[in-house]
Amino acid sequence: MQPAPPVRETTTLDRIARLTGLTASPALRRWFDPETGRLTRLPFWLRALALAVAAAVALPLYNDNYVTAVAIGTATYAMLGLGLNIVVGYAGLLDLGYAAFFAIGAYTAALLMVNFHLNFFLTLPVAVGLTGLAGAILGYPTLRLRSDYLAIVTLGFGEMTRVAITNCDYCGGPNGIINIPFPSLFGLDLQNLEPTMRQDAFWIISVVLTLIALIFAYHIAHSRIGRGWVAMREDEFAAEAVGVPTLRLKLLAYVMGGMWAGLAGAFFATRIYAIDPTSFTFQISVLVLILIVIGGLGSLAGVLVGAAVVSVGPEVLRAVADQRILVYGIALIAMMLFRPQGIWPATRRKPKPFYGVDEEEAEELSRRMLREHQEQEAREDKKHESAGHKVAKVGEPILQVEGLAQQFGGVRAVDDVSFDVLRGEIFSIIGPNGAGKTTVFNCITGVQKPKSGKVGFNGRSLRGLPAHQAAARGLGRTFQGIRLFKQMAVFENVMVGLYSKHRTMTWQALLHTPGERAEEHRSLQEVRRWLRFVGLEEESGKLATELSYADQRRVEIARALASHPRLVLLDEPAAGMNPTEKVELVAVIRKIRDLGITVVLIDHDMALVMRVSDRIAVLDQGRLIALGQPAEIQENPQVIEAYLGREEEDDALMEAEGR
Amino acid sequence: MGTFIQLTINGLTIGSFYALVALGYTIVYGIIRLINFAQGDLTVVGMFIGWSLLVQFGFKALPLPIAIFVAFFIPMIGTAITNVVVLQLAYKPLLKRSLLAILITALGASLVLSNLIRFVFGPAIEAYPDLVPLTGFSIGPAHVSYLQVTLFGASIVLMFALYLFVQRTAVGTAMRALAVDHDAARLMGINVDQIIRLAFVLGGLLAGASGVMLGIYYSQIHFSNGFLLGLRAFTAAVLGGIGNIPGAMAGGMIIGLLEAYTAGYLSSKWQDVVVFGVLIGVLVVRPMGLFGERVAERM
């Protein structure tokens, strides 16, 4: 194996070392290394809390009213940015109407405080809940929209909300709501404090709220949900096919994004004392978008940096106050052109992703994997049977394709194709280009709806099942053109493949409960095994795009296997591999079968297919022309014809050419 | 009934402006799959160049045909150049990158353009001179001004000119080929960069023309007009099926009529709510728009 190229600027520590000119000494590394350092191994909430306490204490001591006011603004922007970062940064959905959620949160809290005399802290859960609901209302009808249409719909939603508030008499119309009371806590009413003290109290409240927003955002981002979002952003189609319920996750992103904005809105209302519709214009939506872009999309530290930039910016740019937006616009374009990753980019590389995960002996490992796979299968079979479905035993049909037909315009891509794949075999589908092989795959996995025909998997029909549910039932797949999640590390790619096996609920992910932690730890172990299985453990921490073509294919295989599927569909796994790599691939395919996983293979390489397959189906022009063992297929005159052309045709061609 | 006819006439007039701006969106989108957020602000650039010529440079004193020729021609050239400059500086380097990156850049371009207008022409509301007398004729109880007829006619002529250009000329065919497949078009010997520039030139010309028309029709102009204008025009393009020229025209008319009827029968306060409500409703039922075909998402 070639030595890995040096990875530059892997960690925040390296970046700081480079910026400050200090070398990261071993002692520094022992404490601060992001993966192994003693301090950085502490739970995130503890580190964030320490930072928050420092910030909360520092400013009142510094005692400059103006600085504190700007800092409170930064905290408000940070809360908004953390929410929008979920929607745009992680889930990749461009939301241009984010100010609407800010408005809904602010108005909810303000109305409850003014009309119902509720304490600020009691209005918080209501405001957060209502904005979450608003997120669902916006999200639901827009789930299936193309991403650029989404931008315009969200923009329209933002405008609609603002207009509705302006025209709503209960909300005070264009004049808004005034005399919003200050918060009070444990009998301490901010109303009774002198202005400087009140300012400090507001600062502390804003730090606490930002801290909560930050910790929850961190937890959700580092859970299976955050991984699902990023996978969806990188390649929605592939994410769905490996088991990520993309529609549900999109909706969740909107709901979460809304909740964070609701928190910020409620705080804004009590802090600013009077709100009106002009505080929630398109400009606010844009400003929050700018801040997360400047900070670095998908980076939490970036959000904090970006929030500071947009709140301190106007103070610094006072001389050109009127041209502030012009400067922001130029900054936005310049960032996209010259530093699209932002000031503090999110890094998904991890030099030591498995730090703290037990090493397993190679010998023992393969036996253990086999045992665990069999145990899992036995468990699933039992459940399956008790639910009244027929379980395919070894040697019985696990995948039944019956009369499958698919049509594109006037072309019958697949025409009445039927075959059974037996549990435990290696089954290959071959045929010339355009024979309909990949279309058959897509119809089986639910990516395309077949025009007619049935697909039965393990005794149940797959008809009408979305791709992620087919994956959850034990149907893994790889893609003809490599479709990895490019900006994710190799081990994360494989971990996304485990999505359907995870049982963590959203609230567990938010709170990072012991149950969730244990599941993540188990998953890491599982991922390490699979990467070792395909021989890529050394590369686990790199980004998927940094691997060679053949290695990327192997990551795809590991991702497809991660959830211990019953059957794995490999779409041209040998394409672009050299002879040595092909030999290794054959070994891997055999190892998959030895685990008890049925393999369905499409490939052009006849030698490889003949060597590895138990049975072969041959497609030509959408029709199944032969089915049998490799030796039979090699002898079959129809197959020879399909591949080499008919003799009469050749004769006719020769004649036509005048030979 | 009288109100209805009047509202329909008003709606069709503003609808034809929206249609022109929407065409700018649709042409650019059809070719590089980019929502050029700056299209609305580009229209305002045209609006202000026209105003500046007529008022600041005193062209309104010239004989009417010359004044009108200058007030349309120069702004159209100006916006076409602006659009190409934006393309070359901001979009071109990003064409191969993610959809999100280029959308954000377009948003930045929109902010820069509208604030450049403010920088150059100031933040005040300016007024267009009355070039065409406000007289008109009656259809039953409804009043139609000559201005409305002229502007409506001019936009219809522009739209058909564009339609014929795209459908009947060799360059138009190249544009349509590019809309389907960049690589295949390149292999057929089409100069892809040149066609992209041409799309931006056409988008700019339309923006300039519609900007001046809007200025003349509404009389009052402000640097921030581009936001709502762009939003409504883009809504029109999406409603009709973006990338589809007749769709953009129809979408523009529908939005214009919706606005007029809402203002007449409900309240002008609710215009935007109705317009966007209809947009969201249509997209939920037909994600590709009323007249659009399903386009594969850029990967």
Backbone angles phi, psi at B58, to 5 degrees: 70, 25
Torsion of CA A69, A75, A79, A81, to 10 degrees: 100
The answer, for A317 touching chain B at a CB cutoff of 8 Å, is no
Q: How far are the Cα atoms of A77, A211, A483, A493, B198 from residue A545, in angstroms, in the given order? A: 34, 34, 10, 11, 35
The band of A12, judged by pLDDT with boundaries at 50, 70 and 90, is: low
pTM for the model stands at 0.88
Spell out which residues of chain B touch residue A286, defining contact as CB-CB under 8 Å: 107, 111
pLDDT for A507-566, tens place per residue? 888 889 898 999 999 999 999 999 998 988 888 889 999 999 889 999 999 999 998 899
**What gap in Å lies between CA A164 and CA A159, rounded to an integer?**
8
Q: What is the pLDDT of residue A24?
A: 62
Higher pLDDT, A418 or A656: A418
DSSP assignments along B45-85, one per residue? HHHHHHHIIIIIS-GGGS-HHHHHHHHHHHHHHHHHHHHHH
The band of A3, judged by pLDDT with boundaries at 50, 70 and 90, is: very low
Q: What is the pLDDT of residue A650?
A: 55
Spell out which residues of chain A touch residue B90, defining contact as CB-CB under 8 Å: 333, 336-337
Q: Rounded mean pLDDT of A6-11?
A: 50
The answer, for B35 touching chain A at a CB cutoff of 8 Å, is yes
Q: What is the pLDDT of residue B253?
A: 94
Q: For helices B146-168 and B170-180, give the axis angle rounded to 10 degrees.
A: 80
The proportion of chain A whose per-residue pLDDT surpasses 70, expressed as a percent, equals 94
- Residues with Cβ within 8 Å of A260's Cβ and at least 6 positions away in sequence, in order, are A79, A80, A82, A83, A84, A86, A213, A217
Which of A240, A297, A336 is the mutation pick for testing B, counting most B CBs within 10 A?
Answer: A336
Query: Do residue A332 and residue B105 have CB atoms under 8 angstroms apart?
Result: yes
pLDDT at A147 over 80: no
Distance from CA of B212 to the nearest CA of A (A): 24
Higher pLDDT, B133 or A475: A475
Query: Do residue B273 and residue A153 have CB atoms under 8 angstroms apart?
Result: no
Pull the structure tokens for residue A246. Answer: 């993309």
Query: Do residue A322 and residue B287 have CB atoms under 8 angstroms apart?
Result: no
Q: What is the pLDDT of residue A27?
A: 74
- Segments of chain B scoring below 50 in pLDDT: 295-299
ipTM entry = 0.86
- Region of A63 please: left (phi>0), alpha (psi -120 to 50) or beta: left
- DSSP 8-state assignment for residue B181: -
Q: What is the pLDDT of residue A64?
A: 87
Q: Rounded mean pLDDT of A215-233?
A: 94
The answer, for A63 touching chain B at a CB cutoff of 8 Å, is no
Chain B residue whose CA is closest to A327: B112
**What gap in Å lies between CA A184 and CA B231, rounded to an integer?**
42
**What gap in Å lies between CA B261 and CA B282, rounded to an integer?**
18
| Closest Cβ–Cβ partner in A94, A155, A329 for B115 | A329
Q: pLDDT averaged over chain A? A: 87
The answer, for B277 touching chain A at a CB cutoff of 8 Å, is yes
Q: What is the pLDDT of residue A4?
A: 42
Q: Rounded mean pLDDT of A409-417?
A: 85
- Residues with Cβ within 8 Å of B242's Cβ and at least 6 positions away in sequence, in order, are A149, B25, B26, B29, B30, B248, B289, B292
Which has the closest alpha carbon to B275: B295, B291, B252, B293? Answer: B252
Residue B138 forms beta bridges with which residues? B143
**Residues A499, A244 contacting (CB under 8 angstroms):** yes
pLDDT for A13-64, tens place per residue? 666 676 776 666 777 777 777 677 777 778 888 889 999 999 988 888 888 8
Q: What is the pLDDT of residue A187?
A: 74
Q: What is the pLDDT of residue A646?
A: 59
**What gap in Å lies between CA A183 and CA A123, rounded to an integer?**
10
pLDDT at A652 over 70: no
pLDDT for A165-215, tens place per residue? 999 889 888 899 988 888 888 778 888 888 888 889 999 999 999 999 999
Q: What is the pLDDT of residue A13?
A: 66
**What gap in Å lies between CA A416 and CA A624, rounded to an integer?**
8
**Residues A552, A484 contacting (CB under 8 angstroms):** yes
Query: Do residue A160 and residue B270 have CB atoms under 8 angstroms apart?
Result: no
Place of tokens 């160049």: B49
Spell out which residues of chain A touch residue B232, defining contact as CB-CB under 8 Å: none
Q: Rounded mean pLDDT of A370-394?
A: 84
Q: What is the pLDDT of residue B33?
A: 83
Backbone angles phi, psi at B192, to 5 degrees: -60, -45
* Gap between the terminal Cα atoms of chain B: 51
**What's the helix, strand, coil split of chain B in %, to 5?**
75, 5, 20
